[in-house]
Amino acid sequence: MRHALRPLLIPTLCAVGLGLASCSEDSDDTSADDTTAASSAETGSGEEAEATDCAPYSGETVEANNNPGEPVVTVPVPEGWGRSTEMDSEMIRLMIGDGNVSEPPVPNVNVVMEQGDGEPEDLFAQSLDGVENSLETEDLTSEETSLCDFPAMRLDYVQTQGNIEWDTTQYMVSVPAEDGQYLATITLMAGDPASEEDLALRQEIIDGIEVAEAD
């Protein structure tokens, strides 16, 4: 059963893309409707993160907003989660959170889409620089991996926004298109320290994410 997110349940969003930190804060008057997920998995620095095989997900999913010619990103929607459209924009394509949680920090997932120039490693380097220089982070690790057979980089870190610390996992996925490369950034957040339940749900979401080239 899907829940609409109640007021005050949409957390601060920091979506970091190609060297740009887009941070907005939802405060007392935020509402939402329908669909999708969040969470974190721990990995050691210096090791290659496990690739995700993009196996079909059997549960409910939601597709991030996309324009013609752009990659398609689909995210699992856990039971009780809801979609907020409050921050939908050309950059922020999807935000979902746990409607079962009555007060911040609310576990959430957001998807950012950007077009970039250069090879995947160049896009990843720009994004990593944005995280390191634009956000207040601790325990940052970065690892090369793949997601749905596309080159990807996984980041794990704790970020501080106001008086809340977020346990964060972020996948940056480089997808080719007719007009160059697109970088889809999928960020999964939960309050730090994340509970075992939060981490397990995050991994379930990660395992069910699908990324595909434009139709």
What is the tens place of the pLDDT at every residue in 111-153?
A: 999 998 889 999 999 999 999 998 899 999 999 999 999 999 9
Within a domain: residue 4?
no
Going from the C-alpha of 146 to that of each of 30, 130, 142, 181, the distances in angstroms are 35, 21, 13, 15
* Per-residue pLDDT at 180: 87
Task: Judge whether 5 lies within some domain.
Answer: no
The pLDDT assigned to 179 comes to 84
- pLDDT, residue 102, reads 81
Q: Is 98 inside a domain boundary?
A: yes
Predicted pLDDT at 128: 93
pLDDT of residue 58: 87
Q: Establish if 44 belongs to a structural domain.
A: no
**pLDDT at res. 28:** 36
- Provide the pLDDT for residue 196: 96
Instruction: Give Dmax (Cα) for the chain.
Output: 44
For the chain, the domain total comes to 1
* 25 found inside a domain: yes
Strand segments (E) across 25-91:
61-63, 72-76, 81-83
In a domain, residue 151? The reply is: yes
Its domain, for residue 33, covers 13-39+53-212
Instruction: List the chain residues with pLDDT less than 70.
Output: 1-53
Looking up residue 183, the CATH number of its domain turns out to be 3.40.1000.10
Q: How many CB atoms lie within 10 A of CB 104?
A: 17
DSSP secondary-structure letter at 121? H
pLDDT of residue 91: 92
172 falls within a domain: yes
pLDDT at residue 113, rounded to an integer: 95
Judge whether 5 and 102 are in contact, CB under 8 Å: no
Residues 6+ apart with CB under 8 A from 155: 128, 131, 140, 141, 142, 143, 168, 169, 170, 171, 172
Question: Is residue 148 situated within a structural domain?
Answer: yes
pTM of the model: 0.80
- How long, in residues, is the chain? 215
Residue 215 confidence (pLDDT): 79
Q: How far apart are CA 190 and CA 168, in angstroms?
A: 7
